[in-house]
Amino acid sequence: MTAPTAERGSRRAERIRLYAQPLIVLGIVGVVLAWAFSSDLDDIEKRSINASTILSLTWQHVEITAVVTALVLVVAVPLGVVLTRRWAKPLAPLVLGIANIGQAAPAVGLLVLFFLATGWTGFWVVVLPTALYALLPVLRNTMVGLQQVDPSLVEAGRGIGMSGFSVLRRIEFPLAVPFVLAGLRTALVLAVGVATLAMLVDGGGLGVMIDTGYKLRRTSVLVVGAVLAVALALLVDWLGALAEQLLGPRGLR
């Protein structure tokens, strides 16, 4: 009796969160921005705390996150599909191992090493290592999602005349979607976090404000940068939750 009740309770909590989370986030951002803009700013602070700088840094941050996510999706999902096919099973541990190393290594280290190795700076030096870092959750969840599909459903699909590909497209993948989305949600939040380090390699983003505020001892700049980064992570997480609600297969709940 307790299990269904708990499940129903957690589902209700999930729904409340779906409405409350963006409102709370926007509220906090509003309060912090109002506080920052209304306080007495010196020249240094004004250089950071103005609409165009905040917007462009936020936009850079969003861009990094979006491209990382797209990259992760394009690489990890097909890779996860391939690695669960019977003929590619031996490769799975190898690829998972590489992805594990990618995630186990600290993001800063990965970023800086990539910068040192290539000598590049800017957008792609942030995006590529971050993508490697965020690959694992999506890859692993895609694989788990496909592996948890009841083999008798796959056999039923083949048995009534679906080709291997159409079983994948119409049965296995739709049933794995909740897992893929959960992995993607984790990857998104990771990406927002790592993107605050983009300033290390001249990649922009809200990390610039945090860095400036810290180095020049301007608390207001530091707070605005940090709050916006946190808010962005929470919003992105909310988008992920929304996607799980809307894109998950019907009939499973």
- Told to check if 11 binds another protein by CB under 8 A, we report no
Residue whose CB is less far from another protein, 172 or 237: 172
Q: Which of 82, 95, 162, 239 binds another protein (CB under 8 A)?
A: 162
- Told to check if 17 binds another protein by CB under 8 A, we report no
Q: Read off the DSSP letter of residue 249.
A: P
Contact present, 140 and 99 (Cβ < 8 Å)? yes
Helical axes 207-215 vs 51-84, angle rounded to 10°: 130
- Round to whole Å and give the CA distance between 143 and 85: 10
Residue whose CB is less far from another protein, 14 or 155: 155
Minimum CB separation of residue 144 from another protein in Å reads 17
Q: Give the burial class of 17: count Cβ atoms within 10 A of its Cβ; 0-12 exposed, 13-18 middle, 19 or more buried.
A: middle
User: Which range binds another protein by CB under 8 A, 61-69, 155-163, 204-212, 222-230?
Assistant: 155-163
- Told to check if 153 binds another protein by CB under 8 A, we report yes
Q: Which of 119, 159, 217, 246 binds another protein (CB under 8 A)?
A: 159
- Round to whole Å and give the CA distance between 41 and 193: 28
- Round to whole Å and give the CA distance between 94 and 90: 8
170 C-beta neighbours (distance < 10 Å), count: 12
Residues 220 to 249 in contact with another protein, rule: CB under 8 A: 249
Locus of tokens 């080709």: 163
The letter for the amino acid at 125 is V
Q: Which of 129, 145, 157, 193 binds another protein (CB under 8 A)?
A: 157
- Round to whole Å and give the CA distance between 27 and 234: 13
Q: Which of 1, 3, 23, 160 binds another protein (CB under 8 A)?
A: 160
Q: Which of 8, 10, 30, 155 binds another protein (CB under 8 A)?
A: 155
Residues that contact another protein, how many (by CB under 8 A): 20
Q: Which residues bind another protein (CB under 8 A)?
A: 152-153, 155-163, 166, 170-171, 174-175, 249-252
